[in-house]
Amino acid sequence: MIVFVVFSAIPFFGISWWSISGSFDNLQEKSQQRLESVREIKKVLLENYVLGVRYDAEDLAAVASAIQQSGKEATAYVPTTAYGGGLFVDFITRHGYADMYLVDLAGDVIYSAKKREDYRTNLFDGEYAQSGLGEVFQEVLKAQAYGFADFSVYGPSQGESASFVGLPVLDKQGKMVMVMALQLTIDAINAIMIHPQATGEAGELSLVGPGQLAFGGEALATSAYTPVDIFGVTYAIVAESEEVDLTGQLTDIYHELYRIGSAAAVLLLLLSFYVSGFFSRPIAALAALFGRVTSTGDFSLRAEKIVSKDELGHISYSLNRLLKTFQLAIGESNRVMGDIAQGRFESRIETDFYGDMETLKHGVNESAESVERTMYGLTQVMHAISSGNFSYRLEGLEMEGEFRNLLTNTLTVMEKAIGQINIVMEAAASGNFDQRVELDLEGDLNRLKSVINSSIGGIAKALEESVEVTEAMALGDLTQRVEGEYEGRLHQLKQALNSSVDKMEQAVSAVLEVSDSVASNAGEISSGSEQLSQRTNQQSASLEETSSSMEQMAATIQLNADHANLAGTLVASGKKEATDGVAIVKKAVNAMSQIDESSQKISSIVDLIDGISFQTNLLALNA
């Protein structure tokens, strides 16, 4: 602190002595430089004021836009706050604005914070259509961008000068739905121009606008001026001083220097304590704020304790604006990412930013668009797969990178797999069960391949065994059976075929038994026929003998009468044998009838066997 006092006192005494001993021209040159320095400070303060007004206007327009987009009525523009008034009323009161307006596109003033006589008038044909408010409304309406009306006398402000800034209020689609206007007071600019940083007793600063409108002083002899842009209108900061005789003042200062030296030292010491505290506390608060933001990453923090309107106050205001911009940009980015995570891929950041925040906005939006295109391509692929179109290849879709290649490769693999499966199944449908899926696959497709190959193999094996059994049966071999282990319908086929062969074997055995019986009966019939033949031969011989005897008897009737009796006896015996022969012939006829019935039974059995063979062939063909 002492060092500060010493270093403050040395320039004070040195400059004072040098100023006193210097020439009048040198003193006047320093005075001119001082005026120019103060002029530049005023320029910076005015530019910061203009920037702050623009930020405030953007904030108010954004709030009005948010309320409008929420679908609320006009009464929503006056929500109460902890300050006891409406949201907009508190805002303009804290920031020193005269009034704030919302004007619809028809020119009707639908909201005024102060509710003066300009409220609910029309700015196209009403009383204030030609005022600064009407001018800024029509300028914003025409350009759909930021507008400014220069200072002029405004009736509702009791005849005082006022200027207006305006911004469009947009809906969700970015279309202008109303105009927000902010009334500025001349007091704010006067406060800057008559700030305690004075130009001296003989100096004056003025802000001169179009039409020689001056703020902060009267027109004097001009010493220096510089242009300054205020809301797009060029003003001039004029540093002025009167031509005065400074000789007497220099002499008085020379005599007073020694008297005030000691008092100045004490005063500087006290002032140093005050100044150090005045600057160190806000700087410490800013440093602490930076520390908290750095350590926590919380951009909702603000510099609340610095409310002065000097350079530190403007630094605090700019810092708060910067933190608000960061908070809004990160919040919008989180919102878009959250929407994407919930499947709302059309979400984008719509808020306007500047610099790197605008670059971040474009990066997030481009990422969201890339995700949206990717998900659209994936949806198209799923639709193609669900409709059985595996030849689809993302034609006409703006999708790049590894994901597109992955989808294309997936579709290619599935197309090849389905193609080979179709070949195998078509071959199976045409009776060729030798085809297999040979393509190298992975995961579920590999399991599908294994199941198909296993199924075709099982069917082929079952059919092969069925064909072998059927062919053996056709060749008369009824000992063959289907021996493989099968499930489902193949097991039913195995059971049906084996059962058919078993039943056929039983039928053939029964036929063989009947055939053996028929053969036995045929043997008996053959034996009876042989006996009949022998007896018939014997009868025939007897008849021949009888005939010979009859001839002998006819020739020798007269000679051998005794032989007649013997012939009668022989005829009676022949008659009996003939009767016996007839009985034997009847038995033969009955035996032939039985043989015929047995033949018909054999024919029925053969027909049954043919039917079983036909059914077996049908089962084989169906399998």
- Say whether both 454 and 511 belong to one domain: no
Mean pLDDT of 93-120: 92
Mean pLDDT of 78-99: 72
- Say whether both 430 and 529 belong to one domain: no
- Say whether both 494 and 470 belong to one domain: no
- Say whether both 468 and 514 belong to one domain: no
CATH number for the domain harbouring residue 58: 3.30.450.20
Task: Give CA–CA dist 482/493, Å, rounded.
Answer: 9
Does a structural domain hold residue 68? yes
Which band of pLDDT confidence, cut at 50, 70 and 90, is reported for residue 218? very low
pLDDT at 165: 95
Q: Which of 164, 180, 202 is the last residue of a domain?
A: 202
Does a structural domain hold residue 323? no
pLDDT at 74: 47
Does a structural domain hold residue 498? yes
Mean pLDDT of 541-556: 62
pLDDT at 198: 44
Which pLDDT tens digit goes with each residue over 219-275?
444 456 677 777 667 777 776 665 545 555 556 666 666 677 667 667 777 776 666
Task: Give CA–CA dist 159/209, Å, rounded.
Answer: 19
DSSP secondary structure string for all residues of 562-580:
HHHHHHHHHHHHHHHHHHH
Which pLDDT tens digit goes with each residue over 472-530?
877 878 788 888 887 887 777 778 878 877 877 777 677 667 667 655 765 665 565 56
Which pLDDT tens digit goes with each residue over 180-191?
999 998 888 888
CA 315 to chain centroid = 43
Does a structural domain hold residue 527? yes
- Say whether both 603 and 456 belong to one domain: no
Exposed, middle or buried, 402 (CB in 10 Å: 0-12/13-18/19+)? exposed
Task: Give CA–CA dist 543/294, Å, rounded.
Answer: 151
Tokens coding 208 = 């001169």
pLDDT at 589: 59
Q: Mean pLDDT check: name the lowest of 416-430, 491-505, 515-529, 560-574.
A: 560-574
Q: Mean pLDDT check: name the lowest of 64-73, 92-101, 114-123, 343-352.
A: 64-73
Task: Give CA–CA dist 612/600, Å, rounded.
Answer: 18
Percent of the chain with pLDDT over 70: 65
Q: Mean pLDDT check: name the lowest of 5-19, 99-113, 275-289, 366-380.
A: 5-19
Query: What's the DSSP call for residue 73?
Result: -
Query: What's the DSSP call for residue 561?
Result: S
First to last CA, the chain: 110
Does a structural domain hold residue 617? yes
- Say whether both 47 and 115 belong to one domain: yes
Which band of pLDDT confidence, cut at 50, 70 and 90, is reported for residue 391? confident
- Please report which helix (H) or strand (E) contains residue 180, including its range: strand 176-185
Q: Which alpha helices (H) appear in 430-487, and where do they start and end?
A: 443-474
Q: What are phi and psi of 516, to 5 degrees?
A: -65, -40
CATH number for the domain harbouring residue 524: 1.10.287
Say which residue, 318 or 165, is predicted with more confidence: 165
Mean pLDDT of 530-537: 63
**How many domains, in total, are found in the chain?**
3
- Say whether both 439 and 533 belong to one domain: no
Which residue bears the tokens 């003003």?
Answer: 235
pLDDT at 137: 94
Which band of pLDDT confidence, cut at 50, 70 and 90, is reported for residue 441? confident
Does a structural domain hold residue 259? no
Q: Which of 452, 474, 496 is the last residue of a domain?
A: 474
Q: In this structure, which long-range contacts are made by residues 565-573, counting pairs with CB atoms below 8 Å and at least 24 apart in sequence? A: 570/542, 570/546, 571/546
Tokens coding 326 = 């960061």
**Domain that residue 518 falls in:** 488-622
- Say whether both 534 and 446 belong to one domain: no
Other CB atoms within 10 A of residue 62 CB: 17
pLDDT at 182: 95
Does a structural domain hold residue 462? yes
Find all residues with CB under 8 Å of 57, minimum gap 6, and list them: 146, 165, 166, 167, 180, 182
Task: Give CA–CA dist 257/249, Å, rounded.
Answer: 12
Task: Give CA–CA dist 132/98, Å, rounded.
Answer: 13
Which pLDDT tens digit goes with each residue over 272-321?
666 666 666 777 777 777 788 888 888 888 877 666 677 777 787 787 88
CA 563 to chain centroid = 137
- Say whether both 451 and 510 belong to one domain: no
- Say whether both 111 and 197 belong to one domain: yes
Query: What's the DSSP call for residue 77?
Result: G
Measure Cα distances from 49 to 40, 43, 122, 161, 403 in Å.
14, 10, 30, 18, 52
Q: Which of 202, 219, 254 is the last residue of a domain?
A: 202
- pLDDT above 90 (res 106): yes
pLDDT winner (highest mean) among 23-32, 106-115, 215-224, 589-598: 106-115
Does a structural domain hold residue 100? yes
CA 225, 201, 249 angle in degrees (round to 5)?
120
- Say whether both 427 and 510 belong to one domain: no
- Say whether both 169 and 51 belong to one domain: yes
CA-wise closest residue to 521 among 424, 425, 594, 585: 594
Task: Give CA–CA dist 517/602, Å, rounded.
Answer: 12
- pLDDT above 70 (res 89): yes
Q: Mean pLDDT check: name the lowest of 61-75, 192-206, 327-341, 440-454.
A: 192-206
Tokens coding 263 = 């008092």
Which band of pLDDT confidence, cut at 50, 70 and 90, is reported for residue 199? very low
Percent of the chain with pLDDT over 90: 13
Q: What SS3 class is residue 229?
A: strand
**176-185 and 109-112 strand pairing:** unpaired
Which pLDDT tens digit goes with each residue over 122-133?
999 999 999 999
Q: In this structure, which long-range contacts are made by residues 325-332, counting pairs with CB atoms below 8 Å and at least 24 apart in sequence? A: 325/353, 325/357, 326/299, 326/357, 327/299, 327/300, 328/353, 329/353, 329/357, 329/360, 329/361, 330/299, 332/361, 332/364
Q: Mean pLDDT check: name the lowest of 76-85, 152-161, 500-509, 542-551.
A: 76-85
Mean pLDDT of 328-348: 88
Q: In this structure, which long-range contacts are made by residues 542-551, counting pairs with CB atoms below 8 Å and at least 24 apart in sequence? A: 542/570, 542/574, 542/577, 543/574, 546/570, 546/571, 546/574
- pLDDT above 60 (res 597): yes
Mean pLDDT of 439-460: 83
- The pTM (predicted TM-score) of the whole model is 0.36
The mean of the pLDDT values for the chain is 75
